[in-house]
A and B are shown apart, each in its own frame.
Chain A
Amino acid sequence: MLLVLFTLGSQRYGLDAGVVEMIVPALPLRAVPGTPPAVVGVFAFRNQVTPVIDLAQLALGQPARPAMSSRYVVTRFPLAGGTERFLALLAERVNEVCDVPDDRLRPPGVRSPGAPFLGPVADTPGGLVQTVTLAQLLPPELQALLFAEEPAAPSSAP
């Protein structure tokens, strides 16, 4: 499977390209007051107001560094009723994809109770890359905050 690689702290992680709609440059956002620090803001993506989550803030508690390679990975987030919504993830060094055969995926070895979204580990030429499961990414309360109302599916969902 194809992984979109990014960096959290000093480690490389990968997201399944199957859930990625598109990678866009880090555009200026409209900030939403009163939200947790991980919610950076919202922007319009294909006529849909899309929230942006800072992965570094969510996982490590510190905001992503402003660099040219810090980009939004727009994903299709699966909801409980089988519908999907666009969710943009702000991550550092989103400048590489890596095709990993499924048989090269290995179990992570250690389960982190604080980070349930960490999935199997892939051995790539650039070193070990841990996969991130999109469905497990948001804590329930944050998910409820983001997708509480309007359970409609994105118009362009496949």
Chain B
Amino acid sequence: MKLRSKFLLTVLLPMVAVLYGVLGWNLWRSYHELMDNQLRSIELKLEDAAARVDSSNREAVTVARVMALAQENGLFGHREQSLQFAQAVLEEYPQFIGSYFGYEPNADGEDAAFLATHPYRPDGATDASGRFLPYWVRINGKITLEPLEQMENPDSLYYRQMKANYLARGDKYLITEPYLYKDGNYIVEQTSPIVINNQFEGIAGVDRGLDSISEILHDLEASLAPLQTANFIVVSGGNRVVAATLPSQDPTQGLRSVPVELLYVNGQGQFETSFLGTDSVGKSILRPGAPNPASDPNLDGTYARLLGQMLQNRDQFHPFDTPFFDPVRQQLSYIASAPVRTGNWMLVLTVTRDELMLPVRSRIVFSIATSSGGILLVAFMFVVAVNSISRRIGRAVTVAQQVAAGDLTADVHVDCRDETGQLLRANRDMIGSLNSLIGQVKRSSIQLISTANEISGTAKMQETTVQDFGSSTNQIAAAVKEISATSQELLGAMAGVSTVASDTAGLADTGRQQLADMKSKMQSLAGATTSISQKLTAITEKAQAITGVITAITKVADQTNLLSLNAAIEAEKAGEYGLGFGVVAREIRRLADQTAVSVLDIENMVRDMQTAVSAGVMEMDKFTGEVRIGVDEVGRLGQHLETILHQVQALLPRFGQVKEGMTAQSAGAQQINEAMTGLTEGARQTAESRQEFDKAVRNLHAAVEALRREIARFKVAEGGTGLTRLPFPASPKKPS
């Protein structure tokens, strides 16, 4: 197993498992504590709500009791004052819808007398017998008077019940069951007995509409915010619903007066009321002939069952217990109840589990998210650390394996300073040392082999040279003889060359003198040309002077013409006398015209002459330039001939030197011949000693080759020194 996997399996996995275990346990505990706290806080609110309902009941009872006390302490028998008192009470307390006194038949002995003064009216204060039964009732906000009814009905809740309770137990008040009174109002009555001299003389009391109790419940619901699904049910001492915020089929009256054991929920999540009826005093009962809802499988009796269980111990507080499936809300809900002492009522509260859990759940989810994040971060950092260590150790192992296999080219990268980094660094240093050592050995062996090869090659060359040397000496001897003969022939030829050179020098000298003559003649020609040019220029100047004279003549002719014209005009003016003068004038004009024509001819001739002279000047200038170039050419030619002459004359003495050299050469050739013979003998001895040298070089080669093979196992990092690229053959050739 790899180091990394071992770390992850033996350390990280158990650690994460334990952390998650602890987290889960803690969350479980927190959840229960939070849920308990939530339920307890709502239970406290339920107790507060029960106290409010109780105080409302107590208030109503107190008013009834005060009215009875007023009767017992002087008001009894004063019918007019009693009427006003009851009316004043109703006006004082707008939450009540009725207030009344009810005497026993002829309790004050005034029935007949009162009837005499106040005739019986259905809207009056008495019944037909004159019994004092005033009942102030608020109908549509208006207070009216009418007599009480149904006091003696055996099912009547308020009169007979109160009387019976007083006589049996001495009860001071009674809160009746809710029932449907006239005008469609559901009410409860608070009644107190009027007792004078321990004699039950009648009752006093007030009515409360169930609407006022419903309002209290709605206020209480609002106090439970932010809970939205909380619902209250008030149950009377006779186990009937006084008011409820639960939905039912009858939105106007709700479940008022319905007995608890008839609370059934149908398939639509609503309380079923189809089987309900009303008894003679207005209480809801199971309608005669209706089927028993308990036997209907489509109806759910959860509420009837739960409330029934609670009512068995109605004096106690029933805290939230395990949740039940609420058929109205179609989800799990909690239920709790608190006793309302006055009137022996009970206040029930239901609320869904989801809503209770909402704040708890969000806190739990937040805890899980933050804890999981922390655990994952720790795990990630651990994995990173383990990865880093394992990677470096793996690299050290790889490098060590490469070195063991002889590969020293591995590049070890050290990126930290802990123990793994030190291991890698040690590896790198080891490879570096090995590299330099092996590289050194390799280079040395290569140099050794190359040296041995050089020695071997040099020896072979020496051998060849010695052999060549022997044959060369013989050839040299023959050549020396030929040189001697050739030298003699050259001596003869040199004498001929010397003669020809002297002749050439003479010819060149003659040519030089002739060229000098030619140069002087050319120079005199150039002088003559310049003179001609000057003369032509003089001719041009003269021609211009002629032109000036011609212009003057022209002007004279023009003046003459003008003069003759004016003369002719004057002659014309003179008429007859001017005739002769006119003839003279005409003659003058003719002469002037002839002059003008002659001048024109002269002008043309002079112009032609000037053109010709200009062309001649140009030609002469051109010719002068050419003559000058010719003179320069001749001068340069003469210099060339002079140089040739000097060189030829310098040659002559050298021919003599060559001749002397040739003679000395002939004598030297004979001496060379003798020296050659001695050299041939020396060469033969050298060839013999080389055999021994050759053998020693071969031994050296063999030893170096063995070393090279051993080193070749190692692959060295630096390029170019490996033995795989040897610049020479692996084994030396055998010397011939």
Interface residues of A (CB under 8 A from B): 2, 4, 17-18, 20, 22-25, 68-69, 71, 94-97, 99
Contacts and interface: CB of A to CB of B under 8 A. Distances in A.
A68 B559 CA distance: 10
A127 to B, nearest CB: 17
B569 A94 contact: no
B562 A97 contact: no
A94 B573 CA distance: 19
A77 B582 CA distance: 25
B566 A23 contact: yes
A20 B558 contact: no
18 contacts: A2-B568, A4-B565, A4-B569, A17-B569, A17-B573, A18-B572, A20-B569, A22-B569, A23-B565, A23-B566, A23-B569, A24-B562, A25-B562, A68-B554, A68-B558, A71-B562, A97-B565, A97-B569
A10 to B, nearest CB: 21
B635 to A, nearest CB: 59
Contacts of B565: 4, 23, 94-97
A59 B582 CA distance: 31
B561 interface: yes
Contact of B561 (A22, A95, A99): A95
Contacts of B572: 2, 17-18
A77 B569 CA distance: 17
Contacts of B554: 68
Contacts of A95: 561, 565
Contact of B569 (A2, A25, A69, A71): A2
B664 to A, nearest CB: 103
Contact of B568 (A17, A18, A24, A68): A17
A37 B554 CA distance: 31
A24 B561 CA distance: 11
Interface of B: 554, 558, 561-562, 565-566, 568-569, 572-573, 582, 589
A94 B554 CA distance: 16
B591 to A, nearest CB: 14
B580 to A, nearest CB: 14
Contacts of B569: 2, 4, 17, 20, 22-23, 97
Nearest to B565: A23
A97 B561 contact: no
A20 B568 CA distance: 11
Contact of A22 (B558, B566, B582, B589): B566
A157 B207 CA distance: 165
A128 to B, nearest CB: 21
A22 B569 CA distance: 8
A95 B559 CA distance: 10
Contact of A23 (B562, B573, B582): B562
B561 to A, nearest CB: 5
A97 B554 CA distance: 20
Contacts of A2: 568-569, 572
A43 to B, nearest CB: 16
By Cβ-Cβ distance, the 5 closest A-B pairs, closest first, are A2-B572, A97-B568, A17-B569, A17-B572, A23-B565
Contacts of A94: 565
B551 to A, nearest CB: 11
A99 B562 CA distance: 17
Nearest to B569: A17
Contacts of A69: 558
B552 to A, nearest CB: 13
B590 to A, nearest CB: 11
A7 B558 CA distance: 17
B337 to A, nearest CB: 136
Given A17-B569, A23-B562, A96-B565, 5 more contacts: A17-B568, A18-B573, A23-B569, A25-B562, A95-B565
Contacts of A71: 562
A96 B564 CA distance: 9
B581 to A, nearest CB: 13
Contacts of B573: 17-18
Contacts of B589: 96
Contacts of B558: 68-69
Contacts of A4: 565, 569
Contacts of B562: 23-25, 71
Contacts of B568: 2, 17, 97
Nearest to A98: B568
Contacts of B582: 99
B88 to A, nearest CB: 136
Contacts of A96: 565, 589
A91 to B, nearest CB: 12
A24 B554 CA distance: 17
Contacts of A25: 562
Contacts of A99: 582
A99 B578 CA distance: 13
